Homo-oligomer: A and B are copies of this chain.
Amino acid sequence: MRKVAILGIGQTKIDEHWEKSLREIGGDAALAAMQDAGVEKVDALFVGNMLASIVNGQNQLGTFFADWVGLWKQEAVKIESACGSGAAAFRAAIMAVASGDVDSALVLGVEKMTDKAGRDVTAALATAADADYEVEQGISFVGINALVMRRYMYEYGWKHEDFAPFSINAHANAMHNPYARLHEKITVEKFEKSSMVATPINLLDASPIGDGAAAMVIVPADRVQRKPRVTVAASAASTDTIAVHSRKDPLFLQAAYASSKRAYEMAGVAPKDIDVFELHDAFSIMAALSLEASGFAERGQGVRLGLDNKIGIGGEIPVCTRGGLKARGHPVGATGMYQLVEVVQQLRGECGKTQVDGAKIGMAQNIGGSGATILTHILKSER
C-alpha cells in the first residue's frame, strides 16, 4: 500500500444556504480544496452524501460534481453510509490512491438539506435507521438516540446537566471558527432551559442540520512538499447491527471500539498519543459513548471527562475543537469531511484561538446511524 497524504483542503460555511444550490455549495468546497492543493485536475472524485437523492432529487453525485468542477471525463463516484458518508468517501479514496490505480483524488462531503420542511428532513434522516424494524414503529432518529441516552442515565446515574460540558465546549470553540453554523456561547443554565426535542435530548444536546461541504485533495505522500506534511496514518471502518435493539449492549459503540483499535494499531499509537479528537457529537450522548469506546474513558464515565475539564483546548483530550457537530453544524453527509479538514487545520497549526499547541496526531471519528457504521481515521503531521 502506498502511503497517502493530504495536498489541499477546502470548506464552506455551514448555514441555511437558500441562495445557493447543491451544485454551488459542493463546487465551492471542491474548488477551494483544489486551489489549496495547487492542482487543476485530479484522477478521481469521491463524493460523500446521504440525502441528495431524497431531498434534492439528485443521484449520481460523483458525475454531477465532476461535471460542475471541471473534472469532466474523470472517474467519479458517490459513497453513502448515512451520517458516516463523508469519512466513508475519504476511506474509499485512500484505498484507490493506495492501490496505485489512482494518483490523485478529490474527496467531497456535501449536503444541502434546509430547503425542505422539518418534517420531510426528519423522515429523510430516518433512512439511517432500520426501515422495517425501527422506523416502521414510528420512531424518529432523534427518538432512538433519546432511548439510548435515557438508558445511559439510568445505568450510570448521571443527571441531564452532566452532559452540558460537551455542548458548552463545542459552542465555545465554534466562536473562533468562521465556517461554523452557530456562533453563540452557552452556559449550563441555557443548556438546562433549552426546548425539549425527545426526552431527555433537548435542543442543546442535539446538533443542528445545515447546508455545507468540505473537501480534500489526497495524493501519494511522496508528492507532498508542503511542511508540515499531513499524512494518513490509519484508516479503519467497522459496523454494528443496523437496529439498536439488536445489540446485546446498546450503550457500547462496538464499531467505534473496533475501528479505533485497528486505527491505533495501524498508526502505532495509543489514546494518550492523540492530540486532537474530532468526535461525532450528533447528540451529547454520542460524545460520551465515543470517548468510552475509543479508549479515553471507562464504561459509563465519558461524561466525567467533560465535568473534569479535560475536553477543552488545553485539556487532556481536546474534542470538537472547531465546534463539533453541535456548533459547527451537521450537514449529515458532509460532516465526516469537515472533521477531517479540521484535523488537518490543527496539524497545520491554522486554528488560531482554538489551536491545540504542538498538535501532531489527530483523530476523526465519523458515525453513520446510531453507531451502525463507524470510521476512525488518524492523521499525522510530519515536519
Contact = CB atoms under 8 A, between A and B. Distances in A.
A76 interface: yes
A79 B81 contact: no
A92 B73 contact: no
A82 interface: yes
A187 interface: no
Contacts of A255: 73
Contacts of A372: 60, 63, 67
Contacts of A23: 132
B238 A73 contact: yes
A18 to B, nearest CB: 15
Contacts of A51: 53
Contacts of A21: 132
Nearest to A136: B57
A166 to B, nearest CB: 25
A92 to B, nearest CB: 6
Given A67-B246, A92-B92, A238-B73, A128 B59 contact: yes
Main secondary structure of the interface of A (DSSP, over half): mixed
A60 B95 contact: no
Q: Which of A82, A92, A99 has the most CB of B within 10 A?
A: A99
Given A53-B54, A99-B1, A258-B73, A60 B238 contact: no
A373 B67 CA distance: 11
A25 interface: no
B80 A78 contact: yes
A28 interface: no
Contacts of A63: 81, 239-240, 242, 368-369, 372-373
A262 B267 CA distance: 35
Contacts of A126: 57
Nearest to A57: B131
A143 to B, nearest CB: 16
Contact of A75 (B57, B77, B132, B237): B237
A1 B96 CA distance: 10
Interface string A85-126: 000100110011011111000000000000000000000001
A168 interface: no
A296 interface: no
B67 A242 contact: yes
**Smallest CB-CB A-B distances: 8 pairs:** A99-B99, A59-B127, A60-B82, A75-B237, A98-B99, A57-B131, A58-B131, A63-B239
Given A67-B242, A75-B237, A77-B373, 7 more contacts: A58-B130, A60-B81, A63-B81, A72-B239, A78-B80, A95-B95, A98-B101
Interface of A: 1, 21, 23, 44, 50-51, 53-54, 56-64, 66-67, 71-82, 84, 88, 91-92, 95-96, 98-102, 126-128, 130-132, 135, 235-243, 246, 254-255, 258, 368-369, 372-373
23 contacts: A1-B99, A53-B53, A54-B54, A59-B128, A60-B128, A60-B368, A60-B369, A60-B373, A63-B239, A63-B240, A63-B242, A63-B372, A67-B243, A67-B372, A73-B239, A73-B240, A76-B237, A77-B79, A77-B88, A78-B79, A79-B79, A98-B99, A99-B99
